[in-house]
Amino acid sequence: MDVKKAPAGPRLSPQQVWDAVAHASFAVLSHVTAAGAPRSSGVVYVVSGGSMYVAVAPDSWKARHIGVDGRVAVTVPIRRGGLLASVFPIPPMTISFAGVATLRTAETVDSVPGLARLVPPDRRDACTIVEVRPEGHFVTYGVGVPLLAMRDPARSRARIPVA
């Protein structure tokens, strides 16, 4: 019997994946409430030194719930551009990972490159910074593969150690 082996997904390095995350700016940040209910919300972020940084209000749900245990999940959609995107609905590539989130004070704004552009000067004293450090593996879909290959899950998926 001739068994065909499924095509392997893209071979990406952890740095290539992290560079793709750094070039995007929007993600979906997911966490659970103290009662265990799932929550997610869109966030704008910057990447620096192996962490993702998000500014939130100190009294926000994100700050309160993330502060309880710090376990989060992140999905970064990466839009494909080009002429085809204006004609056909093309799904974005995605990078997902689990991570540990730590709440930081507003002083972090000045110590993280690029973070100041997310927080207007008049709100810097009244913000909490969420630092997310990825753990385990990045799970990607469509990253590093041609557009038509995204139809084939085996060719489109990859699991890369965070390193």
Q: Which parts of the chain have pLDDT scores under 50?
A: none
Amino acid 163: pLDDT:
82
Amino acid 123: pLDDT:
86
Amino acid 68: pLDDT:
87
Identify whether the C-beta of residue 30 lies closer than 8 Å to the C-beta of residue 99.
Answer: no
CATH fold of 14-155 reads Pnp Oxidase; Chain A (2.30.110)
Q: Is the pTM of this model over 0.75?
A: yes
Identify whether the C-beta of residue 116 lies closer than 8 Å to the C-beta of residue 163.
Answer: no
- Provide DSSP, 12-25: --HHHHHHHHHH--
Mind listing the pLDDT tens digit for each residue in 103-138?
Answer: 999 889 989 999 998 888 888 888 999 999 999 999
Q: Are strands 26-32 and 51-56 parallel, antiparallel or unpaired?
A: unpaired
Domain coordinates in residue numbering, the chain: 14-155
Alpha carbons 156 and 148: distance in angstroms, whole number: 10
